[in-house]
Structure 1
Amino acid sequence: MARAPKAVPATKAAAEQTRPRWWTRLSLPGVETYSNSLRTVVINLALLVVLAMALPLVAAQFARDQILIQSISIPGGLQATGLTPDVAANRLWDGIQQIDVEANSEKSSVNVLPEGKKVTFAIPDAGISVDSLVFYARQFFNLHETVVSGEFRCSDAACTPAGVSLRLRIYGAELKVIELPPMRSDTEAQYWRKAAAEVMAVLDPFTALAAEASAHPTNAATIARRLILTNHPDAEWAHNILGNIRRNAGDGEGAAAEYKAAVAIDDRFIIGWANLARVTSELATLKGDPTLHDEALTYADRVTELDSEGPKEPELRGDLAWERGEMDAARDFYLEAFRRDPLNESYQNKVAIMLYGANRFDESADMARAALEVNPGNETSLVVLAKYYRDRNDTENLNRIYRDAAEFQPENAAAQAEHAGVLMEQHDFAGALARIDQALLIDAKNLAYQLERAAALSRLERYQDALAQLDLAEALSPNNPEIVYRRGNNLTGLARYAEATVVYQQYLAMAPQGEHAFMAEAFIRVVEEEAAAAAKAEAAPD
């Protein structure tokens, strides 16, 4: 006979029914159920946060405009010199960085990167490259990534460096092929700079023309006009460059017209308004028309409206005050610009140059020293202080500022060479040799540095070493009269007068009106007179 279930006392059942709901959640089954639900909610929220963070990054990968420089194919003969495919890609990138620096523009340029420096991502333990997924997805949506590649070609079996030429291809929405001429007498740095200029003319025409504006204004003006005629997005910048070119050429009216065209395209173009104010003030001085100074101030007011907190506004007002001859007001404006942009020593340098021109030499030197505290290698500050110290025959401080600049920039060949030049002036030829050696370690094919080293060796009376150095220089610049003349000087130092005479005659044939023609003719005349006297003495009867 089955046993009947044990009955729950009425009082216990009633007690359980009267307990609050939170009490049941504190039981083990209730806690477990609640923790599972909470864990699910937390995980879902975390996934949602990760997704929200990842979506902009993924979208940025699809929309990125990064330009990659792939390895450049190098013949075996050139690779033996150390120019590997990856090194070539990096040299092209160096050239592009140089173009960007030479452009000296506030407009942002394209983002170019050698493929070897690109950071790649992969899913751990899965072997799946995130970059590959993005690449193929971009291809599917016809979002082409710009890639630069190419190869060197030899003109002969020996693949001599002077005969090699570079062909580059720029892959993007369309293919662009760039054919460069053979290297010939260019140094590697010059050749890579030319290659970079051609690449930037395709990728970022404005930066390319800005870099050409100082050295080749005609070329830059041609590129600028093309950008304007094709309604390029950088048309206002092109007008600004044309204005700068005309202003540098002394055409103030033409420059003002270009700047006005720039601000007509973009009424918020600060650089255009600032340059329009400057050239209008210059025209006021040139024409003796004070109303143009007032007009320049109205353009400056527009700059203030657009950027009242930045350094451009006080710098502009300093330029205008300087043009009006108000030196103290200009100084105060420039120092206000420096206060707003304390890592830019150019404002202090403007004060130094202005005060030096006003014969306030001590104040100018103080400002140049302050600028060097911000950047010990600044060329403008060094030039101002060098003139100040030379005028006072202060060789100790002159040497100190150039030494500090060289030590501050140990990888800057020009800084090493400039200090070498100062040491040569002070007849510290051993110190100059050490500095110029450092410059040549950085830029071995710089002709000026080669000649400076030969000069230091010659002053140390190491004439044979100087001749060997001149041979290296001649390999860079064949048929150079300066090298020929210096060879004659060193042969003279070795008392090899007959050889020196032949070399001086060679110099005169190359440069009959050259800088050293008088000295070469004088030496030949002296040697011939001595030879004639010796022959006469030998022929005379005993």
Structure 2
Amino acid sequence: MAFVLAILIFIPILASQFLRSPVLIEPIAVPEALAERGMTSEVVASRLWDGLRDANALARTSKASVDAIPNSQRVQFSVPDVGLSMDSIVRQTRRFFNVYETRIAGEFVCSDAACAPEGMALRLRVLRGTSEVIDLPPVGQQNLRQYFTGAAIQILSILDPFVAVSAISETEPVRATALARRLIRQHHPDAKWAHNLIGNLRSTAEDYRPALAEYRAALALDPQFTIAQANAARALRQLGDPVASRAEYDLIRARLPQSPEVQEGYAELAIGAGDIDAAVEYLKRAAELDPTSPHYFARIGEVEMARGNIDQAKDWFTRSLAIDPAYPLALSPMFTLLAAGMDLGGGEALLRRAADFEPQSAEVQALHGAALTFLDRPAEALAAFDRALAITPDNAELLYQSANMLQNLDRQADAVDRLNRAIALDPYNPAPIFSRGTSLAITGHNAEARADFQRVLELDTSGTQYGSMATSFIDILDGLDAAEAAESAAP
């Protein structure tokens, strides 16, 4: 009886393991020089695992994606004294039926014996019966986390193309649209998600009629696709058709009576009709249905602020930030209200809590740096900007802002280095060129400073402050040159 019971338990477990198809990340081969610095094979596999999670976070989609895990993190069951393991049985069964599990393998290659980080390049193989090779460029000046996220997006482009497309949609909307169209033409199983993504990109560009057409196309593939239907209702409202919009929300409510998104939709329709009190009640109901979301409290705060109830708006923003101290729809207006009331210390404390809560958000770290700049605390502001740059090292605006803090700390050489990077990334922006000119002038490099100020005059055709200040600096340099010439000519 015990044997029969064991078999009855073992068979469903075996079946579930066979049907479940996680993506296994094998240890990534690394050169010895890299392993000596702590980047072992298992560490690189774990970094790639982190990259897959970051890529899924960038995609911001509710669609389920691949289930990946490093081979070293997998729990394996074995039968004592027999030498058999659940993993080996499942693997042999898969091979018998020619159903191969998906594995990711590869190696890090160095460009020289020292294995300098900027010369490292990753080659990956996605193995699932066949082998597909991914060659990534050298790491260069990229942050390692960004590098592994980029590698993960390349992997997802093979294993889950829609999620890969969604992950680049914010930074590369044109490319994302073209790739989503390709999925649709291929009649990919995720074609409905591709239509919905294109609709979202059109909505972001305030091109609502084509967006509505995409949502309708998604619903033609799956009439029960609630996300697309809610987006269609929103697009109809933005196109000025509240009756059709409400009809869509009513259909969703009939299917999902506890949907907070429907209550929010009704609230937006009430705002459009001028019934603000009803809108607030709808949003309160949405907050009750989804008590862990900071969004609905923040939206009530926005509504109250729009009708001049500043104290009530602050209360609602505070309730939103109690759930998520870094929620942008509450954080930004709350900081604005505090700053308008000349409570810069309170605003800085608000942003400090947000930065501590969301250390991987470059936007929040940068906002905290800006607040510290207003308070004339350059060393702390520089540290905040540095935290933001650790996340997005190629952000020209952050490089410029942090360079200004270095100038305030009289670290002109370091400021010039950062400004050089900012100018390389944004060569037609006069602001970092002007700042570099001031640092060069302070350190006595007058010829290079003059060249920068002349370049500012070429770029600043609109007559902003940079042009007038560049002219003033050129006049000062001319005076210094004239004085030096006169002193040299004196007997």
TM range (shorter): 0.7 to 0.9
Q: Aligned-pair distance for 1:410? A: 4.9
Residue 431 of structure 1 and its aligned partner are, at CA, apart by 3.2
Contact 2:436 2:452 in 1 (8 A): no
Q: Structure 1, residues 232-268: CA drift from partner, whole Å, max 9, x if none?
A: 2222212211222222233322222221221222121
| Contact 1:474-1:480 at 8 Å conserved across structures | no
Give the one of 254, 258, 261 matched to 2:214. Answer: 258
Q: Which moved more, 1:186-195 or 1:450-459?
A: 450-459
Q: CA RMSD in A?
A: 3.2
Match of 1:527 in 2: 477
| One of 25, 28, 45 as aligned partner of 1:72 | 28
**Cα deviation, residue 145, structure 1:** 0.8
Distance change >3 Å, CA 485–CA 311, structure 1 → 2? same
For 1:447-496, what per-residue CA distance to the aligned partner results, in whole angstroms no more than 9, with x for missing partners? 766655543343234x3xx5246547757986876766545544555xx3
- CA shift, 1:70, in A, is 1.7
The answer to whether residue 448 in structure 2 is matched with residue 503 in structure 1 is: yes
Contact conserved, 1:224 with 1:238, CA < 8 A, in 2?
yes
Q: Per the alignment, do residues 76 and 343 of structure 1 end up closer, same or farther by CA in structure 2, a change over 3 Å counting?
A: same
The answer on 1:57 being equivalent to 2:13 is: yes
- Which has the higher Rg, Structure 1 or Structure 2? 1
Q: Deviations over 1:244-301 (max 9, x none)?
A: 22222333222222212212221211112111111111112xxxxxxx3212111111
Does the CA-based 8 Å contact 2:55-2:149 persist in structure 1? yes
Moved more, 274-283 or 173-182: 173-182
Residues 132/509 of structure 1: CA separation in 2 closer, same or farther (3 Å cut) = farther
Secondary structure of 2:63's partner?
A: coil
Contact 1:93-1:112 within 8 A present in 2 as well: yes
Of the three residues 130, 137, 142, the one matched with 2:98 is 142
SS at structure 2 position matched to 1:68: strand
- Tell me how far apart the structure 2 counterparts of residues 71 and 530 of structure 1 sit (CA, whole Å): 63
Query: What is residue 343 of structure 1 aligned with on the other side?
Result: 292
1:386 is aligned to 335
Q: 1:530 to 1:227 in 2, by over 3 A?
A: closer
Whether contact under 8 Å (1:270, 1:306) holds in the other structure is: no
Counterpart of 1:400?
A: 349
Matched, 1:180 2:136: yes
Task: State the Cα distance separating 1:438 from its structure 2 match.
Answer: 5.5
- The structure-2 alpha-carbon separation of the partners of 1:173 and 1:528, relative to structure 1 and needing over 3 Å to count, comes to same
Alpha-carbon spacing, 1:325–1:215, altered in 2? closer, same or farther (3 Å): farther
* CA gap 1:235/1:475 in 2 versus in 1, 3 angstroms: closer
Quote the offset at 1:148 in angstroms.
1.2
Task: Report the secondary structure of 1:214's partner residue.
Answer: coil
Whole-angstrom CA distance in 2 between matches of 1:538 and 1:222: 66
Question: 1:223 is matched with which residue?
Answer: 179
TM-score by length of 1: 0.79
Sort the Cα spacing of 1:258 and 1:451 in 2 relative to 1 into closer, same or farther, 3 A: closer
Aligned-partner Cα distance in 1 for 2:141–2:315: 44
Match of 1:301 among 241, 250, 254: 250
CA separation in 1, counterparts of 2:386 and 2:245? 51
Of residues 47, 57, 60, the one that matches 1:91 is 47
Paired amino acid for 2:30: I
Whether 1:249 aligns to 2:205 is: yes
Distance 1:98 1:118, change over 3 A: same
Alpha-carbon distance in structure 1 between the residues aligned to 2:273 and 2:324: 30
SS of 2:239's partner is helix
Q: 1:317 to 1:173 in 2, by over 3 A?
A: farther
Q: Supply the distance in 1 between the matched residues of 2:343 and 2:230 (Cα, whole angstroms).
A: 40
Match of 2:152 in 1: 196
Q: What does residue range 267-278 of structure 1 map to in structure 2 within 5 Å?
A: 267-278=223-234
Asked if the contact 1:246–1:254 (Cα under 8 Å) also holds between the matched residues in 2, the reply is: yes
Residue 169 (structure 1) aligns with: 125
The answer as to 2:60 corresponding to 1:104 is yes
Residue 459 (structure 2) aligns with: 513
Percent identity, aligned pairs only, is 33
Aligned partner (choices 301, 312, 334) of residue 352 of structure 1: 301
| SS of residue paired to 1:177 | strand
Q: Which amino acid aligns with 2:269?
A: L
Alignment-derived partner of residue 324 in structure 2: 375
1:313 aligns with 2:227: no
1:391, CA displacement in angstroms? 1.9
